């Protein structure tokens, strides 16, 4: 499911994976973190995408004026893509809490 979410071209794949890594580490989901790393996720420098990921990872999200200013560098489609990707990861995290993977 995660791999199929890379078909869009609104945001670089590496930036999207980095945003996902921020969420998975915030959620303390080691399995999700390892799956993202297996797909090539790594920490990158401070970018608007990472600021957005840090702001929307907690529930409720914490999007302040500083995050909004940084996100002006992103296209609306890129913002939607990041928010949707983090939402997908949240869904997978919650599902794995109820139905842990059998090893």
Is residue 13 included in any domain, yes or no?
A: yes
Look up residue 42 and give its two tokens.
């790594």
Tokens 């995408």 map to which residue?
Answer: 49
- Cβ–Cβ < 8 Å for 1, 88: yes
Q: How many domains does the chain have?
A: 1
Is residue 102 included in any domain, yes or no?
A: no
Is residue 103 included in any domain, yes or no?
A: no
- pLDDT one-digit tens code per residue, 3-46: 665 666 668 888 999 999 999 999 999 999 999 999 999 988 78
- pTM for this entry: 0.85
Q: What domain range is 77 assigned to? A: 3-97
Is residue 40 included in any domain, yes or no?
A: yes
């Amino acid at each position: 499911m995660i791999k199929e979410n890379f078909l869009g071209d609104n945001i670089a794949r590496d930036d999207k994976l980095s945003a996902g890594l921020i969420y998975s580490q915030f959620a303390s989901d080691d399995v999700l973190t390892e799956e993202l790393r297996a797909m090539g996720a790594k920490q990158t420098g401070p970018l608007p995408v990472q600021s957005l990921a840090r702001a929307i990872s907690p529930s409720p999200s914490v999007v302040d004026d500083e995050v909004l200013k940084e996100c002006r560098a992103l296209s609306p489609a890129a913002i939607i893509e990041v928010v949707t990707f983090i939402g997908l990861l949240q869904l997978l995290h919650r599902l794995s809490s109820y139905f842990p993977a059998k090893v």
